[in-house]
């Protein structure tokens, strides 16, 4: 029988997609870093609706995302802008905001959407909830700032469900120097004396220490100080994208030595540095957005709004928009925006350097994350598909999507229990 040549690639493509779908359905797909607003969790308005957010339950379901860490993020104002930033009043403001977010996750998982999603406190909870077909929520804290100088709050945050906590965000705090010191100079030259106590306390209660946003010195000192494996909940490889938020090879090797894991983040600016558009290209793109009634893309927060408006266009209208974009690319070529392939290049790089057991995946959705091909939680399958294209096996993909992080979480809780004895 004669099979036309052109049919062969498409049938192997179909088989590849089928295989990727089977793997995606079989492994626990966990995103370790998704931001949220407590104001988006009320009885009238919440993540059970599609809304203008990258993360929500409808997107989670259609994208085959099984589990996520809701991030309790509290920013801080710099000492120079706000004299009480690192004093009692500043800490109390931050603490109140953190508690509001802890309460919002409880409300969402135990009242508003309790039939669809459940809060997990241990890796065995994650597996048990996943087996019931419900979605799994976990909690991480981004920035140790709301702990203030009260070390007792580490246990309080643990009791409130926190299972990882990053020492810093952008800007130095009472615990450690932030990566922003590469621009602004240093405060502690690494971890502060209080920060060292907080690391010991996190080890004691079984909270994973997160080094994303920390300076290199803070991160390296944390790796040496922590009695448990450490994690980077949302960072990428500095060798591929040279920004201070990413981790260089020396850091990645130190993280591996602790037994930890880096959750490679799909945040455009950390995946690839792109040259800004020429004025002609910017003007043409702005005109196209206007023609199709799409919102301006002024900042990272606009991405979710833009995507949801784009989805509302009719199919022929969206095709027209895509044709227009292709014309603009031809007439005024620009530096291509970071995409799924650039993102998975970081996974490949980290896997080659530190091994398949020390790499995971995060989006930073609703916190500035999202790239072409993984714009929101509904597109999560695309990541698995790209991994399958590159030859990753089911066993390896299981490790990347959740196996490694859950192994670390288990280990950290086990060591904590030993330390408490
Ligand atoms: Zn962050």
216-259 per-position pLDDT tens digit: 999 999 999 999 999 999 999 999 999 999 999 999 999 999 99
178 C-alpha to ligand 1 centroid (Å): 11
Average pLDDT on 341-368 reads: 97
Beta bridge partners of 265: 362
What is the b/e burial string over 59-84, where b = at least 16 CB atoms within 10 angstroms of the residue's CB?
bbeebbbbbbbbbbbbebbebeeeee
pLDDT recorded at residue 129: 98
32 C-alpha to ligand 1 centroid (Å): 11
Average pLDDT on 133-159 reads: 98
Neighbours of 175 (CB within 10 A): 27
Lowest mean pLDDT among 21-30, 158-167, 277-286, 306-315: 306-315
Answer for the pair 51, 283: CB distance below 8 angstroms, yes or no.
no
Q: What proportion of the chain, given as a percentage, has pLDDT over 90?
A: 83
367 C-alpha to ligand 1 centroid (Å): 7
14 C-alpha to ligand 1 centroid (Å): 37
396 C-alpha to ligand 1 centroid (Å): 26
Q: What proportion of the chain, given as a percentage, has pLDDT over 70?
A: 96
pLDDT recorded at residue 12: 92
Average pLDDT on 92-107 reads: 96
pLDDT recorded at residue 10: 76
39 C-alpha to ligand 1 centroid (Å): 19
Report the DSSP pairing between strands 162-166 and 208-210: parallel
Average pLDDT on 127-138 reads: 98
pLDDT beyond 70 at 125? yes
Q: Which residue has the higher pLDDT, 276 or 385?
A: 385
The band of 78, judged by pLDDT with boundaries at 50, 70 and 90, is low
4 C-alpha to ligand 1 centroid (Å): 50
Q: Is 287 helix (H, G, I), strand (E, B) or coil?
A: helix
Quote the CA–CA distance of 163 and 68 in Å, as a whole number: 12
Residue among 36, 409, 71 nearest 231 (CA): 409
pLDDT recorded at residue 1: 47
Residue 325: what are its φ and ψ, rounded to 5°?
A: -60, -40
Residue among 128, 351, 335, 362 nearest 245 (CA): 362
250 C-alpha to ligand 1 centroid (Å): 21
313 C-alpha to ligand 1 centroid (Å): 31
Average pLDDT, the chain: 93
pLDDT beyond 60 at 8? no
pLDDT recorded at residue 84: 81
Average pLDDT on 354-381 reads: 97
287 C-alpha to ligand 1 centroid (Å): 32
210 C-alpha to ligand 1 centroid (Å): 11
385 C-alpha to ligand 1 centroid (Å): 26
Q: Which residue has the higher pLDDT, 6 or 385?
A: 385
pLDDT recorded at residue 82: 74
Q: pTM score > 0.75 for this model? A: yes
364 C-alpha to ligand 1 centroid (Å): 7
Residue 195 is encoded by which pair of tokens?
Answer: 């920060």
Residue 331 is encoded by which pair of tokens?
Answer: 């007439």
| Element (DSSP H or E) covering residue 138 | strand 135-142
37 C-alpha to ligand 1 centroid (Å): 14
Neighbours of 25 (CB within 10 A): 12
pLDDT recorded at residue 307: 78
pLDDT beyond 70 at 64? yes
Q: Which residue has the higher pLDDT, 331 or 300?
A: 331
């Amino acid at each position: 029988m004669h099979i036309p040549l052109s049919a062969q690639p498409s049938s192997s493509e179909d088989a590849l997609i089928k295989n990727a779908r089977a793997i995606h359905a079989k492994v626990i797909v966990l995103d370790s870093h998704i931001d949220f607003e407590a104001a988006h969790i009320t009885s009238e308005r919440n993540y059970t609706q599609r809304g203008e957010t990258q993360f929500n339950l409808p997107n989670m379901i259609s994208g085959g995302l099984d589990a996520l860490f809701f991030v309790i993020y509290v920013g801080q104002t710099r000492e120079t802008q706000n004299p009480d930033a690192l004093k009692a009043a500043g800490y109390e403001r931050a603490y109140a905001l953190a508690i509001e977010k802890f309460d919002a996750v409880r409300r969402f998982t135990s009242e508003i959407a309790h039939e669809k999603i459940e809060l997990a406190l241990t890796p065995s909870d994650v597996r048990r909830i996943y087996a019931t077909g419900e979605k799994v929520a976990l909690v991480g804290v981004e920035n140790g700032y709301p702990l203030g100088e009260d070390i007792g709050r580490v246990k309080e945050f643990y009791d409130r469900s926190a299972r990882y906590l990053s020492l810093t965000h952008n800007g130095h705090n009472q615990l450690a120097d932030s990566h922003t010191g590469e621009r602004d100079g240093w405060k502690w030259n690494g971890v502060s004396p209080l920060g060292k106590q907080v690391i010991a306390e996190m080890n004691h209660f079984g909270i994973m220490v997160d080094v994303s946003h920390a300076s290199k010195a803070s991160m390296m000192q944390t790796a040496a100080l922590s009695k448990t494996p450490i994690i980077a909940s949302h960072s990428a490889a500095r060798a591929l994208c040279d920004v201070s938020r990413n981790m260089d090879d020396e850091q990645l090797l130190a993280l591996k030595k602790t037994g930890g894991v880096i959750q490679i983040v799909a945040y455009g600016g950390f995946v690839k540095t792109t040259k800004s558009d020429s004025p002609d290209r910017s003007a043409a793109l702005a005109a196209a957005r206007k023609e199709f009634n799409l919102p301006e893309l002024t900042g990272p927060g606009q991405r979710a709004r833009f995507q949801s408006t784009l989805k509302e266009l009719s199919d022929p209208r969206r095709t027209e928009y895509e044709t227009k974009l292709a014309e603009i690319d031809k007439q005024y070529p620009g530096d291509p925006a970071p995409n799924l392939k650039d993102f998975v290049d970081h996974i490949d790089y980290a896997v080659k350097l530190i091994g398949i057991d020390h790499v995971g995946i995060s989006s930073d959705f609703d916190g500035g994350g999202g790239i072409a091909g993984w714009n929101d939680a509904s597109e999560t399958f695309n990541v698995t598909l790209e991994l399958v294209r590159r030859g990753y096996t089911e066993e390896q993909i299981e490790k990347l999507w959740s196996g490694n992080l859950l192994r670390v979480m288990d280990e950290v809780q086990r060591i904590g229990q030993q330390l408490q004895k």
